[in-house]
Structure 1
Amino acid sequence: MLKKNVGPDIAETLGKIDSTDKMDELFKQSMDDTQLTRLKTIKNQKVQKRIADAIAVCRPATVFVNTGSSEDRQFIRNLALENKEEAPLAMENHTIHYDLAKEQGRIVDRTFYITDPHEEISTLANRMERDQALVDIETHMGGIMENKTMIVGFYMRGPVGAPASNPALEITSSAYVSHSAEILYRNAFHGFDREVEKLGHFFTNIHSEGQNRTEDLPNARVFMDRSYRTTYSFNCTYAGNTLLLKKGNHRFAVDKAVYENRGKELSEHMFITGIKGPQGRVTWCAGAAPSGCGKTTTAMAGDCFVGDDLAQMWIAGDGSVRSINPECGIFGILQDVNWEGDPQLMENLRKPGTEVIWTNVLVDENKKPHWVGNGEAAPEKGFNFQGEWHLGMTDSDGKTVPISHPNARCTLAATALDNYSPESENPDGVETRMITYSGRDSDTMPPVWVAKNDEHGVALGACIVSAATATELGVTGVRRAPWANAAFIPGALGDYMDAQFKFFSNPAIAPDKKPVMAGLNYFLTHEARGGDSKKLLGEKRDVKVWLSWLERYAHREVKRIETPIGHIPLYEDLKLLFMEVIGKEYPRELYVKQFSLHIDNIIKRLDFQIDAYSNETNIPDTLFKVLHAQKKELVLLKEKQGAVVSPETMAAD
């Protein structure tokens, strides 16, 4: 069990601000009258104290209090350019930011939970004892902002007024980080006191980019203090390590759901999108996928966009499951984003009118950005994430240097999207009737299948596997990715899983409002189904059909085929939906390839999960019951029908 306020608070210990007089004197020394007046409009003493501690530790030359006004936002943009954290591009309001060449993803090996004796954390995470972390933070953060401007921002992670939103401070010396926060989160300066008072908590994030030198990277750190809900980050540039409102605070939100509101609330690594059905109805879907596995593409395939990365969920008084997006913008991966698969996003990236921060792409001599998979002709030369670049360039290992890094990103406001939904700011959230789980699975599961019940649905989320992506440094191969959230689960995996089972089996969810829980996979390849190509067996845009079938399923308007892994579609329903939704023929031969069960592969996957979870502590027995039952049914099916069973064979049974 997580205990709050245990052990010395590192910011408070190092800050040594032990009286209101000391705090006021520090504020007067650190900011001019305008900034001081702004700060004094924040009346909450705990919030003021947290800011004072950060100032005392980092010792900035000056402090800027960001109110979220248009003037303040422009000041931050200008500062990012002045500090050379960003550079202007040809299109108005487009800028480019480059992370350090060796820091193009989350620094998993240098990211730590600050822990106290006997505190249990996820077996998939790193820990550092509190006394050691205190020394590390004191050594590297003490005076780190000398001669720099500290920017203090006040944000809401979620719509103002939503019960699952979280107030958070973002304290940073990086104008790029502050600029990104202004696009991705809701500046709540004028209502911050009210929200903190109502919700009873806030998160704190303290970051300094240091001197932005490669030689500093061995000493780069991201610390998360769960006990005091405070993150620390230094010597980093990549937003996944510096914009601590994002995955740093997501971890605190996971803790809050698991240890304070178990069975009533969830904090998930999910997109939220609305799918239109017959007569114009909209059915809302939330879907989990590891970073780099298509969350943005899937979210954009929906008709009504709310979010592409994170979701806060709770059970409302009417018995429905409600979801909100903690963010209000997109920090999206660019690789393979093109006019064919992502037309709405491309409208904003290639046409004027939208503010965009680009990261780690190639910029040509005309200051136009380019990236891998954009479907356009690549320039012969330019500047990218590793410096000067030319066509055919190779690295020291003889490998071709791509025009952009696989984790290159674009940051823009969600309101710019044509399918943006105003429901994004509804404090009541959207009623969520579909939940999907997916990863980069090239050879095992079909494109879509529905869990038999909520226990099977939770097991489905627990058993996501995926090929490693470019979002994490030093991670390779195919690996487990429970709920696509494992990297952000601070506590024991068994606790998190128990929270999932309790949430989806909660009798407070009305029977007619229970979400459909489904697997989603559009990474199957021709090679895995008897071909000789590693290309997708289908197209990215097909996901709109899989989501549309789930939408009809949620309203009991389509039939299904019963299988050991769950329910799969009938060919006739999919054939109609392919033509209706994306105007495309869907051959029966392709259906058979995509939805035949390759039983040996699935059993191997189940054994992999059973073995892995057997090595964890306090995993709910329900998981093993579900997995063993599926395996038993698959073995019987194989004995009866063979190792590869077509959907038509299962339908006939």
Structure 2
Amino acid sequence: MRTASCVELTLLMLLEWRLRHGYQQKKSMIQSLMLGKVSKVFLGQWISEPEMEKEMNDRYPGCMAGRTMFVIPFSMGPIGGPISKIGVQLTDSNYVLLCMKIMTRVSPHLWETLGDNDFVKCVHSVGCPRPVKRKVMNHWPCNPERIMIAHRPEQREIMSYGSGYGGNSLLGKKCFALRIASVIARDEGWLAEHMLIMGLQNEKTGEEKFICAAFPSACGKTNLAMLEPSIPGYKVRVVGDDIAWLKFDREGTLRAINPEAGFFGVAPGTNFKTNPNAMKTFQKNSIFTNVAETADGGFFWEGMEDEVDKNMAITTWLNQKWHIGAPGKAAHPNSRFTAPASQCPIIHPDWEKPEGVPISAIIFGGRRPTGVPLVFETFSWEHGVMVGACVKSEATAAAEFKGKVIMHDPMAMRPFMGYNFGNYLQHWLNLNAKPHKVPKIFHVNWFRVDSEGSFLWPGFGDNIRVLDWVLRRCAGEQGIAEKSAIGYIPTKESFNLTNIDLKWDELFSLPKPYWLDDIRESRRFLEDQVGTDVPKTIWKEIEDQEKRIQAMTD
């Protein structure tokens, strides 16, 4: 992959237009947007500096005419913290202004701390100057035919044009906190990752451990971060539900902060059964995007059928009359809530601790309906990085893929990488050096199904049973795991199975043909997408795992 004199161009497939108008994007329009001048690869889109300058100069002049321009100084992370970074965003969207005030720490005092070049420069426009010459649907100005979201990682600059939704326009989120921050982290020796941060306190001993977990979008990060345990023994508190910045301290302990100040969560599927703490968090001071509205002024989305009167009149996200049981969807599958993290009833008291919280384990995972066991521990840091590089998941509404296809999402960072993925993997590998004390790495899969398509694992509050095993492994407890071809698997006797009936053998089975296909397909993916930039250590880990799988009995 090229890196020199290039700029990452993230083409988000006209998400804006689809979200607001139900428009089905056509491949030909994507190709025309790419202008035939963009390098099209799965892990990133790249365009030369001169071409990017030309495209931006064709868009930005006069783009905010007739609108109010807002200047937003914001901090990612606690203001003044050792891991925190500052940004300034220009925007002509009041929706962006309000969401940024929730999602980041906006303060006029930041002007007093800024130097000449020690902040990330962010410019955003909906690309719809007044007088408006196009029809604005649902009071949502945008310019879907000319959307362009670009990053200059080395210059710490973000440019967003034409979109007015989510991470396309809230530039402190994915654009800054992941794409640009990953480059800053590479240069400064830390990590910017698509991970939740949660604390688990043993109620008997009072000891607390923190974990980070990386899942693709809409795979349960928020639900896990705000988990309500189904069994006694642990108190769970959330530090962050989406992004983690991780840095080793002077003693070599890996610490993490949540650079955000709010939650930008997927609404459908969220209810008082799946995530009561999220429901309690956004009862005030919150913004809902592309959800349905009930006749009494409340909100509704798929998953709330048992919490709303069946006879309640509902207006869908497309402003159409609807009722529970009617055809179609009331809310967009990627509709969102934006809420202050401070309102979460289980927010950790140290969630804004400037130096962060110490991390004992890193967990990767995704939606894997077949073949992949509930949990396994990797053999080493290097093996864990390889497992993270090979993360796959069933596509979700937050991705540009349709249907139930298994997509690669390495490190759960596929849409969010700010530089060459091979170099990114090498950066991870380099961190395993003295005095760094790297945490253990695990992989989980809440979504395996049986032959009839039913989930083998109940998930939600019962995920505490998996985390209990993870923490006991981190503590060095012996006799609770057995070695397999892919990592250490729990013994049945070591798991807390109180009041739960499981098809244990099926949940933890490792079909040899499946795993041979999986490791070989992962090899092809890395060869195709990363090529000679894949670190030799990763190739060795893949080769070793393939040999172990080949040695398995059928």
TM-score category (smaller protein): 0.7 to 0.9
Give 3-state SS (helix, strand or coil) of 1:100's partner.
helix
Corresponding residue to 1:373 among 299, 303, 315 = 303
Query: SS at the partner of 1:140?
Result: coil
Q: Say if 1:271 and 1:286, in contact at 8 Å, map to a contact too.
A: yes
Letter in 2 for 1:605: D
Matched residue, 2:513: 600
Match of 1:205 in 2: 122
1:628 and 2:547 correspond = no
Q: Look up the match of 2:322.
A: 390
- Superposed CA deviations along residues 326-359 of structure 1, whole A, max 9, x for unmatched, are 101100011111212211112234xx5x311111
Distance 1:542 1:113 in 2: 45
Quick check: 1:121–1:490 contact (8 Å CA) kept in 2? no
Aligned position for 1:151:
70
2:274 aligned with 1:341: yes
The 1:402/1:254 distance shift into structure 2, 3 A limit, reads same
Residue number in structure 1 paired with 2:131: none
In 2, Cα distance between the equivalents of 1:300 and 1:149? 37
CA drift of 1:3 comes to 8.7
Q: CA deviation at 1:475?
A: 5.3
Q: Does residue 586 of the first structure (1) align with residue 467 of the second (2)?
A: no
Q: Deviations over 1:275-319 (max 9, x none)?
A: 122412110001111111111111112712111111111111011
Q: Aligned pair in 2 of structure 1 residues 629, 110: CA closer, same or farther (>3 Å)?
A: same
* 1:130 and 2:49 aligned: yes
Task: Work out whether residues 103 and 237 of structure 1, in 8 Å CA contact, stay in contact via their aligned partners in 2.
Answer: no
Tell me whether 1:319 sits opposite 2:239 in the alignment.
no
Distance in 1 between residues matched to 2:333 and 2:101, nearest whole Å: 25
Matched residue count: 516
Alpha-carbon offset, residue 227 of structure 1: 3.5
**Alpha carbons 2:456, 2:503 under 8 Å: kept:** no
Determine the C-alpha separation between the residues in 2 that align with 1:633 and 1:128.
41
By how many angstroms is 1:257 displaced?
1.9
Tell me the residue number matched to 1:190.
109
Separation (CA, whole Å) in 2 of partners of 1:307 and 1:234 = 28
The 1-side partners of 2:340 and 2:506 are apart by: 39
How far 1:162 moved relative to its partner?
2.8
Residues 371, 509 of structure 2: 8 Å contact kept: no
Alpha-carbon distance in structure 2 between the residues aligned to 1:434 and 1:109: 40
Distance 2:294 2:376 in 1: 44
Q: 1:590: Cα distance to partner? A: 2.3
Q: Is contact 2:74–2:110 with CA below 8 Å preserved after alignment?
A: no
Question: Take 2:271 and 2:63, find their aligned partners in 1: how far apart are those partners?
Answer: 41
Q: Does 1:428 align with 2:355?
A: yes
Asked if the contact 2:126–2:143 (Cα under 8 Å) also holds between the matched residues in 1, the reply is: no
Q: In structure 2, do the counterparts of structure 1 residues 607 and 268 end up closer, same or farther at CA, with 3 Å as the change threshold?
A: same
Aligned equivalents of 1:225, 1:288: Cα separation in 2: 25
1:458 to 377, 385, 409: 385
How much does 1:384 deviate? 2.2
Q: 1:621 to 1:121 in 2, by over 3 A?
A: farther
Q: Note the alpha carbon deviations across 1:462-504, whole angstroms, 9 max, x for none.
A: 010011111133555211100001211132211111111112x
Task: Output the amino acid matched with 1:293.
Answer: C
Task: Provide the rounded CA distance (Å) in 1 between the counterparts of 2:68 and 2:123.
Answer: 13
Report the CA distance shift for 1:554/1:364 in structure 2 as closer, same or farther (over 3 A).
Answer: same
Aligned partners of 1:110, 1:226: CA distance in 2, in Å? 24
The corresponding residue for 1:561 is 482
> 1:289 pairs with 210, 215, 219, which one?
215
Is 2:164 aligned against 1:237? yes
Aligned-partner SS, 2:320: strand
Q: Which residue does 1:516 correspond to in 2? A: 440
The equivalent of 1:270 in structure 2 is 195
Q: What runs of 5+ residues in structure 2 fail to find an aligned partner?
A: 8-17, 129-134, 228-234
Distance 1:389 1:599 in 2: 51
Change (3 A) 1:549 1:179: same
Render the CA deviation track for 1:108-149: whole Å, top value 9, x for unaligned: 9599999x99xx997522222222222322222211111111
CA distance in 1, matches of 2:401, 2:148: 15
CA contact (8 A) 2:3 2:420 kept: no
Measure, in 2, the Cα distance between the counterparts of 1:368 and 1:141: 38
Match of 2:321, SS state, is strand
**CA 1:533–1:475 in structure 2 vs 1: closer, same or farther (change >3 Å)?**
closer
Distance 1:340 1:307 in 2: 20
Amino acid across the alignment from 1:508: P
Who is 1:90 aligned against?
none
| 1:498–1:122 distance in 2 versus 1, CA, 3 Å | farther
Distance 2:274 2:487 in 1: 29
Larger radius of gyration: 1
Query: Which structure features the higher share of helix residues?
Result: 1
The structural deviation recorded for 1:216 is 3.0
- Residue identity over aligned pairs, in percent, reads 25
Q: Which one-letter code corresponds to 1:164 in the other structure? A: I
Structure 1 residue aligned with 2:292 = 362
- Tell me which residue corresponds to 2:263: 330
- Structure 2 CA distance, aligned partners of 1:474 and 1:561? 37
The answer (yes or no) to whether the contact 2:257–2:357 under 8 Å persists in 1 is yes
Deviation string, structure 1 residues 586-612 (Cα, Å, up to 9, x no partner): 33x522221122222222111110111
SS of equivalent residue, structure 2 residue 205: helix
Instruction: Determine the structure 2 residue equivalent to 1:618.
Output: 533
AA paired with 2:507?
A: Q
Is it true that 1:306 corresponds to 2:248 in the alignment?
no
Q: Could you say what secondary structure the match of 2:328 adopts? A: coil
Cα distance change on mapping 1:158 and 1:537 into 2, 3 Å: same
* Residue identity in the other structure for 1:291: S
Distance 1:440 1:407, change over 3 A: same
**What is the CA–CA distance in structure 2 between the aligned matches of 1:110 and 1:103, rounded to whole Å?**
17
Map 1:32-51 to 2 at 5 A: none
| 8 Å contact kept, 2:292–2:315 | yes
**Take 1:271 and 1:121, find their aligned partners in 2: how far apart are those partners?**
30
Distance of 2:165 and 2:145 partners within structure 1 = 15
C-alpha distance in 1 between matches for 2:421 and 2:34: 15
Q: Secondary structure at the match of 1:547?
A: helix
Partner residue in 2 for 1:140: 59
Does the 8 Å contact 2:456/2:507 carry over to 1?
no
- Output the CA distance in 1 between the equivalents of 2:65 and 2:3: 35
Q: CA 1:195–1:436 in structure 2 vs 1: closer, same or farther (change >3 Å)?
A: farther
Extract unaligned runs of 5+ from structure 1.
9-97, 395-399, 580-584, 643-653
Match of 2:464 among 526, 538, 544: 544
1:390-409 matched pairs, under 5 angstroms: 390-391=322-323, 400-409=327-336
Letter in 1 for 2:546: K
Write the distance in 1 (CA, Å) between the matches of 2:157 and 2:256.
Answer: 25
Distance 1:139 1:279 in 2: 62
Q: Who is 1:48 aligned against? A: none
Aligned-partner residue type, residue 466 of structure 2: W
Deviation at 1:540, TM superposition (A): 2.5
Distance 1:393 1:376 in 2: 14
Q: Compared with structure 1, are the counterparts of its residues 605 and 3 closer, same or farther at alpha carbon in structure 2 (3 Å cutoff)?
A: closer
Q: What is the rounded CA distance, in whole Å, between the counterparts of 2:394 and 2:429 in structure 1? A: 26
Q: Of 257, 270, 281, which aligns to 2:185?
A: 257
CA contact (8 A) 1:104 1:471 kept: no
SS in 2 for 1:426: coil
